[in-house]
Each structure stands twice: as structure tokens, then as C-alpha cells.
Amino acid sequence: MAIIPSDQQPPPRPGTKPPAQPRLVAPQQQAQDISENSLRPRELKDYLGQSELKQSLGIAVAAARQRAEALDHMLFYGPPGLGKTTISMLIASEMGTQIRITSAPALERPRDIAGLLVSLQPGDILFIDEIHRLNKVAEEILYPAMEDFMLDITIGKGQAARIKRLPLKPFTLIGATTRAGAISAPLRTRFGLVQRLRFYTAEEMQAILLKNAQILQIQLLPDGAEAIARRARGTPRVANRLLKWVRDYAQVHAAAAIDAQVAAAALDMLQVDHAGLDPVDRQILSTLLLNYQGGPVGIDTLAAAISEDVATIEDMIEPFLMQCGFLQRTPRGRVATALAAEHLGLDPRLAAAATLPLFEDLSLE
Ligand SMILES: Nc1ncnc2c1ncn2[C@@H]1O[C@H](COP(=O)(O)OP(=O)(O)O)[C@@H](O)[C@H]1O
Ligand SMILES: [Mg+2]
């Protein structure tokens, strides 16, 4: 079944197997999110939720302004689509500085990162997405740059090699990652502020949806927004995508406005259930419950059982299932809870003892 709106979908070449459908509820950026920038809040007051984060930032920004210095280096972590890139852009506009946006895989060669560092103006923000993927050489260039605003470059080779230090303009590095645990300790300790982004509440999601419906000139009623919000996995990026899908659906069905009924009908078509779970999520839980007595099951086994790769499961799928209380990560593997069994309409006794010690590999502690 077509999951993304047809105008975004490339026609399959004749005789080729169509590629696997991207999941509409997947939090990572997809081709159809290309218009995402139009929905990115331009002012801090439009960045809803994440009050803890905004509070810490307010203090950091005010202090840096008073001292007329660059902001402390910051690390934002948490699942995709929660607003890490957006908040970084807002910080730049609050500080009245430029932001240079890049991502770790684009910084493969030493000269990539050195070139960027040299080009920064005083107070500029360098935003590195997926910072856990930086290679060792790039990281080592960053250490003195972050600490002393110095760029160490090696001149010559072998015995004749020597290091020359070039001064840099004071700048702020903002790193974003879905995997705080994968960042090396020396890099992590060089960030002054480390903040986790949280899933949004249903109310926050509803407010974001109503605001974005206005921007997109969609007739969205409060109960329609509530219905979408509940299924949007606490993730604004997913909410925006579902909103666009529901808009298309309403248009085709000539619905004047989007109320709870229209929204539910549109989302049912995608097989996104009332908790926001899609078939892949449900497959993980039912595999655990029906094939492995609820677990614990090692992540590799689970990945093989449902033909997904480990990183996708860990970064894109599990955080939300854990947030819902449907899945736990334990030292011995993944466990489905009684709540998950109930959600799927299965016997809760299928779940493993749900009281195993928790460990949360997104946290830094
Ligand atoms: N706090 C927020 N308030 C309103 N919209 C948000 C918020 N955070 C994120 N969004 C929306 O979600 C989209 C994805 O956010 P983004 O910053 O790209 O996520 P991340 O970088 O964490 O993957 C943005 O385009 C924006 O429309
Ligand atoms: Mg991002």
C-alpha cells in the first residue's frame, strides 16, 4: 500500500522490485520532509515544549551576551525529529550570529573540518549533526579548537613534521546526536552544556499541529489536531508528516475541515494505530511476545527476526516503544511488557516478568 503521498513517489522502473516503503511514522528525515524548513519555528517563542532545555539555554544565552563572548559549546541528544536542528538555528538567531550546518559524515578528511573552522567569524555557531560519527582525526582537530580556539596543523612529514598553531575566532560548537552513549568521553567533556531532548506531550503536539495547520492553511479542528497528536509519537517531525497526509486525504475525500473522524480515517489507512504504532512497531512487539515468550531477546536476534537493521531499531523504533512502556532494554536483551501485550490484544501473561532492571543507553550517566 502506498504510504507516502503519490506526488512524492518516484515511478518504479519497469521490471524492478519497488524499494521498501519508508515508514510514515519514522522519525528520521525523509525526502518528503524537504519542505520541513517552512514549518521550522523562526522564533524561540514558537518553539513549543522542551521547557527544561529552553530554561538552560535562556541562562546560557543571557550570560554569553552579558560577557559579549561566544556561547559555551553544547551537545543536544535524543531521538530524531524532536527539534535539535531547529533549536540550534534559533540559538543562532537569538545570539545574532551565523550558523554553519554540517554533519559528521561530511567531515571525513582533516581539511574538511579545518576549512570550516578557519572560515568561522567571532561568535559563529558550528553545528555538527550526527556528531557521534566523527572520525578520530576530526575529533583530535576539534579538541584544541574547542578548548583554546586553536587549530593545530601538521606541516611536513615523518621526522621533519612539526605542528603549527593557528588562532581561530571564538566560536560555539553545537553537536547533535541520537546516540549520546557513542560519543567519546574526551569529546563529551568538552561540551559546557549537555541537554537531552524529550518526546513531546499530547498537548504540546496538538499546539504544534494547530500552529502548523495555520501556516499550511489547513482547516484543522481542535479534535482533529488531538487525534493526529495522539498518533504522532511525541515527535514534531512525524506530526508534520501525518498532518500533510491527513490534508491530502481530506482533500481527496472532499472533507471541508479535518475533525477527529477524518483524521482517524486517514491515519487508519496508514495502519498507524491510536498509540502511534505502525506495522513495524507492532511486528517487533508481537515477535517478542509470540516467538520469544516476551524476551529477553538479544538485539541482533530481534533484528534478524524482523529483517531490520540494528541501528534502525535502536535509534528510530525502540526509544518510542520504551517511552510508551511497551518495551524495555535489559542487560540480557529486549523485553516486551504486559502493557504491550494488552495493546496488541494479546494475553498479558505472554509478557516476560516486566520488572527486570532497566538500563537506558541514551542517558549519559
Ligand atoms: N519545539 C518545536 N516546536 C514546533 N515545531 C518543532 C519543534 N521541534 C521540532 N519541530 C518541527 O519538527 C521538525 C523537525 O525538527 P528538527 O529540528 O529537524 O529535529 P532533529 O534535528 O532533532 O531531528 C522541524 O522542521 C519543525 O517543524
Ligand atoms: Mg536534525
List the residue whose alpha carbon is closest to atom 16 of ligand 1. Answer: 83
Quote the mean pLDDT of the chain: 89
Residue that the C-alpha cell 569529546 belongs to: 187
Exposed e or buried b per residue across 124-137, where buried means at least 16 C-beta atoms within 10 angstroms of its C-beta: bbbbbbbbbbbeee
Closest ligand 1 atom number to CA of residue 89 = 17
Rg (Cα) of the chain, in Å, rounded?
23
The dihedral over CA atoms of 340, 343, 347, 351, expressed in degrees to the nearest 10, equals 0
Q: Does residue 240's CB lie within 6 angstroms of at least one atom of ligand 1? A: yes
Q: How far is the CA of 150 from the centre of ligand 1 (A)?
A: 33
Q: What is residue 149's predicted lDDT score, i.e. its pLDDT? A: 98
- What is the enclosing helix (H) or strand (E) of 102? strand 99-103
- Across 250-254, 292-296, 300-304, 351-355, least confident range: 351-355
CATH T-level assignment (fold) for domain 50-196: Rossmann fold (3.40.50)
Place 17 in a pLDDT band, splitting at 50, 70 and 90: very low
Q: What is the best residue among 28, 33, 40 to mutate for testing ligand 1's pocket, by most ligand atoms within 8 Å of CB?
A: 40
Q: What is the best residue among 237, 238, 243 to mutate for testing ligand 1's pocket, by most ligand atoms within 8 Å of CB?
A: 237
What digits encode the pLDDT tens for the residues 199-238? 999 999 999 999 999 999 999 999 999 999 999 999 999 9
Q: What is residue 37's predicted lDDT score, i.e. its pLDDT? A: 77
Residue that the C-alpha cell 523504533 belongs to: 317
- Measured between alpha carbons, how far is 152 from 128 in angstroms, rounded to an integer? 20
> Which grid coordinates belong to 250?
481530506
Enumerate the active-site residues: 84-85, 129, 178, 237
Q: Does residue 86's CB lie within 6 angstroms of at least one atom of ligand 1? A: yes
Q: What is residue 33's predicted lDDT score, i.e. its pLDDT? A: 73
CATH T-level assignment (fold) for domain 200-276: Helicase, Ruva Protein; domain 3 (1.10.8)
Q: How far is the CA of 40 from the centre of ligand 1 (A)?
A: 6
- Across 94-98, 135-139, 152-156, least confident range: 152-156
- Measured between alpha carbons, how far is 332 from 241 in angstroms, rounded to an integer? 35
Question: For residue 143, is pLDDT > 80?
Answer: yes
Q: What residue segments make up the domains of the chain, in order of their start?
A: 50-196, 200-276, 279-350
Question: For residue 318, is pLDDT > 80?
Answer: yes
> Which grid coordinates belong to 295?
524476551
CB within 5 A of ion ligand 2: which residues?
85
Among 52, 134, 53, 111, which Cα is nearest to 86's?
53
Q: How far is the CA of 84 from the centre of ligand 1 (A)?
A: 7
- Measured between alpha carbons, how far is 183 from 163 in angstroms, rounded to an integer? 26
CATH classification code of 279-350: 1.10.10.10
Q: What is residue 353's predicted lDDT score, i.e. its pLDDT? A: 58
Q: How far is the CA of 243 from the centre of ligand 1 (A)?
A: 14
What digits encode the pLDDT tens for the residues 70-106? 999 999 999 999 999 999 999 999 999 999 999 999 9
What type of residue is 358? L
> Which grid coordinates belong to 112?
574538511
